[in-house]
């Protein structure tokens, strides 16, 4: 029986040629499993992909040659931003990532199901966001590789077990361990100052009260609010039931402080499936630079479409863009 693979599957498969790290390859194979048509003709391919993932995970779990420094991983950023998912043991991180991405990380009701960092791609509307599943952090367990990944990430999700009355104490330990490494977590509204004297890695963060379905009276969530609401908002979700996950996708996108803008060739229609993801505050020159450096150097003028305000009017190169703007570049 023919496999009848889709063009989207074929495009994703091409990425295997340039993937260099096990994490990249796992992410691609996970996406292939999501895209592959499900019928008898693809059963063997599905089995082969799962075997490849298992082998790659086994390779990642081999002891690091650096010994005392622990496992070190470099995960290249992909998509609209990179968000690390952090939490104490049994906070439900892996199931959450499975529900948000459609991938298949190992999920278990025992501590340290996640043993090494692994990347997965979450789709929000027309953009993908990279989620990094990190091993649990405890008073005894925090590897240098985990710390480095948190430092370079664009933002963080911290998962707490809303069914566990000890969660506030576990989170305090997590925050203290990372503060020792000059990592602090801040609200989603945080904007870094231009002249910060001490090098602190501050990460915009959402605190997730996961397993909220197992806290029907809300007592544990109230405790989490009491201890942490002044620092950042508490978002009640359940990875098991799906409660709050669609809203969480939007909150993750907003957490990154990015916008989507579209470059439209003169006289042609805009492709809303292929946005340029830019930092908030980006201007016309920034999207020109994102298209190609020559566009930025040779830009003569631009036209802008923005709902309710612009309908193809000429704008200057320093016009600040907003989410969903359409820009027509002329060189």
| CATH 3.10.20.30 fits domain 259-330 | yes
Q: CB of 98 within 8 A of CB of 242?
A: no
Q: Where in the chain is the domain with CATH 3.40.50.300?
A: 67-255
| CATH placement of domain 67-255 | 3.40.50.300
Q: Where in the chain is the domain with CATH 3.10.20.30?
A: 259-330
* Over residues 140-169, mean pLDDT: 92
pLDDT value at residue 111: 46
> How do residues 278-306 score in pLDDT, each as one tens digit?
999 999 999 999 988 878 888 889 999 99
> How do residues 229-259 score in pLDDT, each as one tens digit?
888 889 999 999 999 999 999 999 999 999 9
Q: What are the two backbone dihedrals, phi and then psi, of residue 177, each rounded to the nearest 5 degrees?
A: -60, -40
pLDDT tops 80 at residue 12: yes
């Amino acid at each position: 029986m023919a496999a009848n693979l889709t063009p989207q599957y074929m495009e994703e498969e091409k990425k295997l040629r340039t993937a260099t790290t096990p994490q990249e390859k796992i992410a691609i194979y996970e996406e292939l499993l999501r895209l592959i048509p499900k019928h008898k003709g693809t059963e063997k391919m599905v089995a082969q992909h799962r075997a490849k993932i298992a082998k790659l995970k086994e390779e990642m779990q081999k002891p690091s040659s650096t010994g005392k420094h622990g496992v070190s991983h470099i995960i290249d950023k992909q998509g609209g931003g990179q968000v690390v998912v952090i939490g104490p043991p049994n906070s439900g991180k892996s199931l959450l990532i499975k529900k948000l991405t459609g991938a298949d990380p190992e999920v278990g009701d025992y501590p340290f199901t996640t043993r090494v960092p692994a990347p997965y791609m979450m789709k929000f509307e027309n953009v993908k966001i990279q989620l990094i599943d990190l091993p649990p952090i405890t008073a005894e367990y925090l590897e240098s590789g985990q710390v480095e990944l948190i430092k370079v990430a664009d933002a963080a999700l911290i998962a707490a077990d809303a069914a566990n009355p000890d969660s506030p104490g576990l989170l305090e330990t997590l925050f203290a361990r990372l503060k020792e490494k000059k990592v602090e977590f801040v609200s989603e509204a945080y904007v870094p100052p231009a002249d910060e004297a001490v090098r602190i890695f501050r990460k915009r963060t959402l605190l997730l009260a996961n397993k909220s379905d197992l806290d029907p009276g809300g007592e544990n969530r109230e405790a989490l609010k009491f201890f942490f609401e002044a620092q950042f908002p508490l978002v009640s979700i359940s990875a098991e039931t799906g409660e709050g996950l669609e809203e969480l996708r939007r909150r993750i996108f907003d957490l990154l402080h990015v916008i989507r803008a579209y470059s439209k060739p003169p006289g042609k229609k805009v492709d809303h499936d292929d946005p340029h993801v830019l930092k908030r505050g980006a201007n016309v020159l920034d999207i020109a630079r994102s298209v190609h450096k020559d566009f930025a150097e040779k830009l003569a003028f631009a036209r802008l479409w923005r709902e309710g305000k612009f309908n193809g009017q000429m704008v200057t190169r320093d016009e600040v863009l907003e989410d969903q703007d359409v820009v027509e570049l002329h060189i």
